[in-house]
Structure 1
Amino acid sequence: MIKFRLRASAAVVALTLALLNPPVSATTDEGHYQMVTPSRDGTGKLYMGREISHVMGHLGAGWLERPSREREERTDLLIQNMGLKDTDSVVDLGAGTGYFSFPIAQQLSAGKVLAIDIEPEMLKRIEQRKTVSGIQNIETVLASKTNPNIPADSVDVVLLVDAYHEFSHPREVMAAVSRGLKPGGRVILVEYRGEDRKVPIKRLHKMTQQQAKKELNAVGLRWQHTDQYLPQQHVMVFTKP
């Protein structure tokens, strides 16, 4: 009986240690990523210490277009404060249903929006909205997991709203974004504030400023400033030197 209890206790301790310190092994992605036991909402893939979350996907389109979104997130303020020029070429990366693509396109009298997403279903929705709305200065682009397919030195602004934390290959994607930006071009990264426990979003779907700076600096993008005019999200601005 005593031996059984000791063995059982040892097994419990071993299991606890395994859960607290899951086994880590490098992937084949040039050593930039590691794999661990996935957390509840995560993929188990780590990048610079951050676990990448699961992708919401096209089944979450209703969440993106919910009537309360503008009031809750003040998306109108974000668009107003992007500092766009009429002639800008703007990428909406992780465009989803085109929630931001269409109002941005209306501000660009001589510019255009590249609405880029990895899901063909989302891009079909945008094409359908183009037909209904008559807004034609939006070009849909199908991305891969590692490449957003932005032509080199071609765009002025890249907007990412609550999308970056889901990228399965963030280093490769952001390196391609950097190549696609014109010198002096901007990345506007919008993420729920990971430092704020009061923000009612799952942990892996938020990011801290410190983590975002570390990851984007790794591909040559330089942090300029962070705006805090939104109720729950950081607006972090990076530039290509």
Structure 2
Amino acid sequence: MDLSRFPSFRLDGKVALVTGGSKGIGLAMACALGIHGANVVIASRNADDLQKVAEDMNNQGLKFSWIQADVTDKERVNDMIDQIVEQHGRLDILVNNAGMNIRKPLIEVEEEDWDQVLNTNLKGIFLVGQAAAKQMMKQRSGKIINISSILGGIGMPFQTSYAASKGGINQLTKVWASELSPYNINVNAIAPAYIRTPMTGAWLQDEERYKEIVRNTMMNRIGEPEDVAGPVVFLASDAANYITGHILYVDGGWTAK
């Protein structure tokens, strides 16, 4: 058997952008890509957080840089992609991760709540994905990984806006996969269950809620940010070259029950 035909999980020389990359799942995924050799650009709204994270990772031997950006601002998003290409010459991997949540019962959801969540979680994914796709089409190669959620496929109380946005991400992923495949661009999504992050930390302090989540998970625990590290490296690597349009559930078995 010719072992040279087997693809590598290494990302040496690849340029990766991770939005929402200064904390939580985003930071874990950025670190995983960096550990496997990628030049990683992290982006979010908070410049102070970005700078601290980039300095820390560079001190640990990874190749990190940062860009302050609001993913809901089309002009700023386009500038971000242009800046990455100017500095690195290309963009090989997009981890489309920036997101937020406002948990309320349906009858208490304000129009402003809906707009805020959908603008960040769905419009932001669209704007960054569109800008990145334009560059990847020129290169005729690339990997786009959208971060969805199990709530894009299952129903749960108090998640009206968030679930709608994540369901939209799942459909965008499938449409983009079909549209961009002629350009050798793979588009997939990762759909985690509850992961312990700054965004979920306070919510998970409720003991009964925590127990219910654990009961629904075959692995009998809450997910940690590092649990998403392997899946993102896999989908970003040449080992996943024949996978596109897929929603990969990283949920401890939740959706298999």
Please, what TM-score do these two structures have when normalized by structure 2?
Answer: 0.46
TM-score by length of 1: 0.49
Return the structure number with greater helix share: 2
Which one has more relative contact order, counting CA pairs under 8 Å at least 6 apart?
2
Choose between structure 1 and 2: higher strand proportion.
1
